[in-house]
Amino acid sequence: MSKIATSAILIPVIALLSTAGFASADSNSGGSRFAPGKGARPSFGVKVCHAAPVPAHAESLAQMLADSSGGRFAAVDTYDIGYSGGHAAFPASEWYGLGYRAILVFSDLSPEDSVALGDSLARFIELGGGVVEAVFSDATDWLIGGTWRSTYAPFPVMPQSNTEGFMGTVFQPFHPVMAGVSELYVGCYRTGSRTGALRSPNCATLSEWTDSSRCLAASFDSAGRRAVSLGMCPVSYWETSATGQWCRMIVNALNWVAVGPSVGVTSPNGGESWRGGTVHDITWTQTDNGVRDSIYYSTDAGASWTGLAYLDTPPVPLQYAWTLPDTPTAQARVKVVTWDEDGGRVEDRSDADFTIASSGIVQPEKSVLPAGLVLYQPSPNPLASGAAVRYVLPRPAQVELRIYNAAGTLVRPLVDGHQPAGNRSAYWDGRDDLGRPVAPGVYYCRFRAADFTAVQKLVVQR
């Protein structure tokens, strides 16, 4: 692979992205020379582990990340893991004890010891740190393996692509990693798992390339252990350059794996068999910086979701008493969403389907489904904190249930997916899609199913 010097390419990007920061590009010392962090949130150290033929490229990247972090990175140090004179592994416990909380690792040469390095990365995560990998650490010829690849890395092993690429669909625009990232282009050298082929149910596609259905970014999030895979080279020292917010995405990823919000559903998590009408606890774990939560359930393996509750503050303990609907299904799942104070949102859902069995109660004749679709008046209405929206599907249908303000602007989608026949309900918590309370006033709930459309008015009073 032919490479050129970085200075001409990096300078204009630094000028665009730089805010304020501090870097300590200290090639192999392992030591830290932290500067005081800025801002209300604590700062932390970052290690750039690289197998780069030209160490200056990694040092330029370290400086750029520090300059673009807004003072969040107290130090950004480099560490050579290349096969020629690099380290086989690193002292994870020592680094964590010195205040390092995030590692960016990439390999454009074979690592000195792929398995030993991967085991060190896994140990760092298990201590409480986070890891972001980039090209080519998931590629066949430059793979970083070990426990990192088998347990934490979102991407499985994939061949590289030597073509240019543009960012396409962003699947989770509110995820902290994608904050402020609206466009991205790289001239060459991409990897990335096929969308839908990530390593485990705890991994999620955040965005993908336009041309190949391959992930640009994917996350791993389970019980506070976090990792990100990026299908791009982290520095633009190739003959073709990178443009867009690629540096911001890397900074976002390092922030999130180090101190971002995390949530993990613990029950029901797949395989349970519960009876409709009974009460069971939904339980989950989350990090302390999650400030509010939403809970949803699905009866079709996650194709559509119905809101259960919106919690202004996380409950203690982290559980919610759920009266199961009398809707028999073998494809039930639950989902918990948590927000941080900056509006970043992450979610986790049951790892596999569980069963809701019929209550066995014979329904009175009057509960027979009507012949046509029905949207009932939301209750309570007026509402102060939330309202239930009930509707009836006499047959399976694709359902869209949305809240609009009086100007006709979409405020919050409640349901969007295929649902089985039955008496259904959704819950609106009086908030917009960013989790902010809406202003008092008149809103409209629009229900669409098949060729049927109905609207109900809601009045919000604070």
Q: What is the DSSP string of 123-181?
A: HHHHHT-EEEE-TTTTBGGG---HHIIIII-SS--B--B-S-EEEEEES-TTSGGGTT-
- Bridge partners, 246 (sequence order): none
Per run of 10 residues, the mean pLDDT along the chain (length 462 residues) is: 26 28 34 38 85 81 90 92 80 92 87 90 91 83 85 81 84 88 84 69 86 81 83 62 86 89 87 88 87 89 83 87 86 89 79 84 47 81 84 88 90 88 85 86 90 87 80
Whether the Cβ atoms of residue 103 and residue 130 lie closer than 8 Å to each other: yes
Whole-number pLDDT of residue 363: 45
Tell me the pairing of strands 306-311 and 345-349. Answer: unpaired
The Cα 179–Cα 308 span in angstroms is: 27
Strands 319-323 vs 279-286: parallel, antiparallel or unpaired: antiparallel
State the CATH architecture for 369-462.
Sandwich (2.60)
Reading phi first (left if > 0) and then psi (alpha if -120 to 50, else beta), residue 11 is in alpha
* Shared fold status for 7-259 and 369-462: no
Residues ≥6 apart with Cβ < 8 Å to 73: 21, 22, 23, 43, 44, 45, 46, 65, 66, 254
What Å distances lie between residue 258 and 109, 153, 362, CA to CA? 26, 15, 53
For the whole prediction, is pTM greater than 0.85?
no
DSSP code of residue 232: B
With beta carbons less than 8 A apart as the criterion, state whether 73 and 43 touch.
Answer: yes
| pLDDT for 268 | 95
In one-letter notation, the amino acid at residue 35 is: A
Domain positions in the chain are 7-259, 262-362, 369-462
* pLDDT number for residue 278: 86
Task: Give CA–CA dist 194/362, Å, rounded.
Answer: 47
- Position 312 scores a pLDDT of 80
Class of domain 7-259: alpha beta
CB 49, CB 105: distance < 8 Å: yes
Task: Report the CATH architecture of 262-362.
Answer: Sandwich (2.60)
Q: Tokens 């990247």 identify what position?
A: 61
